[in-house]
Amino acid sequence: MTRLNRPQFQQLGIIGCGLIGGSFALALKRAGLVKRVVGYSKSPSTTEVAKKLGVIDVAAESALLAVSGSDLVLVAVPVSATEATLRAIRHLVQIQPQTLFMDVGSTKADVAIAAQKVLGDLASQFVPAHPIAGKEKAGVQNADALLFQGKQVVLTPLPENSAAEVQRAAGVWAALGCKVLKMTPENHDAAYAAVSHFPHLLSFAYFQSVMRQPSGREFMELAGMSFRDFTRIAGSDPAIWRDILLANRDEVLHQSQRFRSVLDRLEHWLKEGDAGALETLLRQVSEARAKWTPAFTDPDDGTPSSHF
Amino acid sequence: MTRLNRPQFQQLGIIGCGLIGGSFALALKRAGLVKRVVGYSKSPSTTEVAKKLGVIDVAAESALLAVSGSDLVLVAVPVSATEATLRAIRHLVQIQPQTLFMDVGSTKADVAIAAQKVLGDLASQFVPAHPIAGKEKAGVQNADALLFQGKQVVLTPLPENSAAEVQRAAGVWAALGCKVLKMTPENHDAAYAAVSHFPHLLSFAYFQSVMRQPSGREFMELAGMSFRDFTRIAGSDPAIWRDILLANRDEVLHQSQRFRSVLDRLEHWLKEGDAGALETLLRQVSEARAKWTPAFTDPDDGTPSSHF
């Protein structure tokens, strides 16, 4: 078991040297789990910065070359690029049956479909993962060896994965200080649509509706703590959230339906002046919210995960 | 001008010895602006606690007795009780033409109507005020002499108020370290519906929709920082927010209409898979949010105003 919990790798291949990929490389180095890190990014300048910062040891000129000779590979690209990336490395997945592949996407059903479509049986080597960690400032320059410590990582194993392969993947994240959860891609997407993806959509929509109304700018100059906290996630990365919301749109739209029915009810009570019904709901929510505590807290509270 | 900025009062009468009324009393004492504080609360036990804590010097047995002999009176009751309170003290408003009356309600159009309806010409002595300050823990036991320091207070003068009377009211809050703003009751209610009241409704509605769905409880166990910040205001006081939302329902419903039209648009783009349109809006919002800063910050960031 110890061997599983403290896995050793000769070479880590990172495809996508961003905040998450870079932090993963630094974390594995810090934990002494890997001898060498080879990295590839779509933009050569990013790979260069990663090398200068010591995040990676070798800059690869292609995704395929980052995989070559690596016994651990992390695909850390935007979810919309996952399928193309898997296609680009498919050949070496076949040639390196001992290599463990993982991704870090915030949506998982789409990744499962892409993996099975592109890799087929080779998908047994690919264990989809979603580390619930990040920063509002993206980019390898913000990479942090402690980014994953004390955070949750969700594994959504494929039918092709052996129990041993899943355990091996779990061991990697556990060694970085993560709490490892396992669920189906469908349950993952439903859960995070509810507690993360949909509230991001709400916050973006709300901020836009205030910003775009006559006097909206003046109104915002009067806003304080409630507005600050309620709209913090509206400052998240547009490209990342475009991808997440589209990749998980069915679940997000399902959450929106549920939400609208509650909002309809509240508006009805306001129009009717039904103070009793209104207070009852507000009280139920207020009491439940007082009891709730976050699954994890960020070490630096100021910059919570922009992926979550 | 100095006299206006550092007003002196013989006796402060507090009607409603809660967090706000109690903090106002402590703040005036601390600033040395008042010699004696007389307090009344609907529940005698509350008044007793206020006296024990030294928030008030004398416990009055009625609102009228709290006004009697006071040259400054603060009506610090829930907005739904403002009209009845003014009715109860009307007689002494007439007899004490030098007394300055203020309230602290989070909605202002309803207060203006109640004042004119109940006080008529006597409304000249009543300057409606909304200090943007509070704590999530209500009650006189949480009263704080520094609650208003560095905060905004919005005055919404009545047509009956003389410029001198408004200036006198402004002087009191300025002496407590407040930034004093003046606007019409209508502008106040429109602005705070947009940046405070409606987001509270959204947060309550969202939390309820998650809590009440089949796997909602399990989902919430996975939630982290985004959920925490987005739903913080869903933990606010149900009675206070029932009153605020009902008192300002027209503006709140107006904000909801604007919000729904943006949400409709976003949902349409999700259904259509229109990544470009989606990203454009997300980017506009994200950039605008990054530029925004709060009008004020609470000294203890953990317990922002539940009235705002």
Domain locations in chain B as residue ranges = 9-183, 188-301
Copy the structure tokens of residue B162: 């003389």
CA distance A123 to B153: 62
Residue B148 in contact with partner chain A when CB distance is under 8 A? no
Q: Is B9 on the interface with A (CB under 8 A)?
A: no
Q: Does B300 touch chain A (CB under 8 A)?
A: no
What residues are paired with A34 via a beta bridge? A9
Mean pLDDT confidence for B1-22:
84
> Which residues in chain B are closer than 8 Å to A215, comparing Cβ atoms?
190-191
Quick: pLDDT tens for B23-39.
Answer: 999 999 999 999 999 99
Judged by a CB distance cut-off of 8 A, whether residue A148 touches chain B is no
Task: Enter the pTM of the model.
Answer: 0.87
**Taking Cα atoms as reference points, which of B125, B135, B72, B129 lies closest to residue B106?**
B129
Contact of A64 with A92, CB cutoff 8 Å: yes
Q: Please give the pLDDT value at position B194.
A: 98
User: For the purposes of burial, counting CB atoms within 10 Å of the CB of B147, is it exposed (0-12), middle (13-18) or buried (19 or more)?
Assistant: buried
Q: Does B205 touch chain A (CB under 8 A)?
A: yes
Q: What is the pLDDT of residues B145-176, one digit of tens each?
A: 999 999 999 999 999 999 999 999 999 999 99
Run of H or E residues at A182? strand A179-182
A68 vs A46: CA distance, rounded Å: 20
* Residue among B209, B242, B282 whose CB faces A258 most closely: B209
**pLDDT at res. A301:** 39
Q: How far is B60 from chain A (nearest CA, A)?
A: 30
pLDDT in tens, chain A (308 residues): 444 457 899 999 999 999 999 999 999 999 999 999 999 999 999 999 999 999 999 999 999 999 999 999 999 998 899 999 999 999 999 999 999 999 999 999 999 999 999 999 999 999 999 999 877 678 999 999 999 999 999 999 999 999 999 999 999 999 999 999 999 999 999 999 999 999 999 999 999 999 999 999 999 999 988 999 999 999 999 998 999 999 999 999 999 999 999 999 999 999 999 999 999 999 999 999 999 998 876 544 333 343 44
List the 51-110 stretch of B: residues with Cβ below 8 A of A: none
Measured CA to CA, the distance from residue B123 to residue B145 in angstroms comes to: 28
Q: Which residues of A touch B262 (CB under 8 A)?
A: 205-206, 208-209, 212
- Distance between CA B20 and CA A286 in Å, rounded? 20
Closest to B97 (Cα-Cα) out of B153, B164, B176, B33: B164
What pLDDT, on a 0 to 100 scale, did the predictor assign at position B68?
A: 97
A257 interfacial to chain B (CB closer than 8 Å): no
Quick one: closest CA in A to B195, which residue? A223
Beta-ladder partners of B214: none
CB atoms within 10 A of CB A301: 12
Q: Fold identical between B9-183 and B188-301?
A: no
Residues of A in Cβ contact (< 8 Å) with B304: 224-226, 229
Q: What is the pLDDT of residue B304?
A: 38
ipTM above 0.85 for this complex: yes
- Chain A residues with CB under 8 Å of B252 CB are 270
Cβ–Cβ gap B212/A266 under 8 Å:
no
Confidence at residue B24, expressed as pLDDT on a 0 to 100 scale = 98
Average pLDDT over residues B187-201: 97
Whether residue B235 lies within 8 A of chain A, CB to CB, comes out as: yes
Q: Judge: domain A188-301, CATH 1.10.3660.10.
A: yes
Whole-number percent of chain B with pLDDT over 90 = 89
Q: List, in sequence order, every residue forming a beta bridge with B101; answer none if it has no partner.
A: B73, B126
User: Mean pLDDT of all residues in chain B?
Assistant: 93
- pLDDT, position B134: 79
**Neighbour tally for B179: CB within 10 Å:** 14
In the β-sheet with A129-131, what is the strand arrangement from edge to edge? A129-131, A152-155, A179-182
The neighbour count for residue B95, using CB atoms within 10 Å, is 9
Q: How confident is the model at residue B294 (pLDDT cuts 50, 70, 90)?
A: confident
* Backbone conformation region of residue B7, classed left if phi is above 0, alpha if psi is from -120 to 50, else beta: beta
Rounded Cα gap, residues B208 and B140, in angstroms: 30
Q: A266 to chain B, minimum CA–CA distance in Å?
A: 8
Coil vs helix vs strand at A181: strand
Q: What is the pLDDT of residues B210-240, one digit of tens each?
A: 999 999 999 999 998 899 999 999 999 999 8
Tell me the mean pLDDT in the region B242-250.
Answer: 96
Beta bridge partner(s), residue A152: A179
Q: B286, A236: Cβ pair inside 8 Å?
A: yes
- pLDDT confidence of residue B245: 97
Task: Supply the pLDDT for residue B267.
Answer: 98
Instruction: Check if A202 contacts B (Cβ < 8 Å).
Output: yes
Degrees to nearest 5, angle at CA B122 with B116 and B125:
100
Q: What angle do CA A185, A188, A194 make, to 5 degrees?
A: 140
Q: Which helix (H) or strand (E) holds A113?
A: helix A109-119
Quote the CA–CA distance of A68 and A89 in Å, as a whole number.
Answer: 9
Is A209 in Cβ contact with B255 (below 8 Å)? yes
Q: Which site among A107, A189, A203, A230 would you substitute to test the B interface, given the most B Cβ atoms closer than 10 Å to its Cβ?
A: A230
Residue B306, both tokens: 């539940």
Contact A194 B210 (CB under 8 A): yes
**Cα distance between residue A301 and residue A247, in whole Å:** 28
Q: Say if residue B246's pLDDT is above 60.
A: yes
Residue A288, token pair as written in the block? 């439940």
CATH class of B9-183: alpha beta
Q: Give me the helix-helix angle, B249-272 and B238-247, nearest 10°.
A: 90
- 3-state helix/strand/coil string of chain B: CHHHHCCCEEEEEEECCCHHHHHHHHHHHHCCCEEEEEEECCCHHHHHHHHHCCCCCEECCCHHHHHCCCCEEEECCCHHHHHHHHHHHHHHHHHCCCCEEEECCCCCHHHHHHHHHHHHHHHHHEECEEECCCCCCCCHHHCCCCCCCCCEEEECCCCCCCHHHHHHHHHHHHHCCCEEEECCHHHHHHHHHHHHHHHHHHHHHHHHHHHCCCCHHHHHHCCCHHHHHHHHHHHCCHHHHHHHHHHCHHHHHHHHHHHHHHHHHHHHHHHHCCHHHHHHHHHHHHHHHHHCCCCCCCCCCCCCCCCC
How many whole angstroms separate alpha carbon B94 and alpha carbon A55? Answer: 77
Residues of A with Cβ-Cβ distance to B212 under 8 angstroms? 258, 262
End-to-end CA, chain B: 31
pLDDT, mean of residues B255-263: 98
Q: Tell me, what's the pLDDT at B306? A: 39
CA–CA dist B216, A200 (Å, integer): 17
A154 SS3 class: strand
Structural element, H or E, at residue A9: strand A9-15
CA distance A260 to A250: 15
B235: closest CA among A231, A266, A289, A263?
Answer: A289
Cβ count within 10 A of residue A200: 22
In this complex, the residue of B207, B266, B296 whose CB is nearest that of residue A224 is: B296
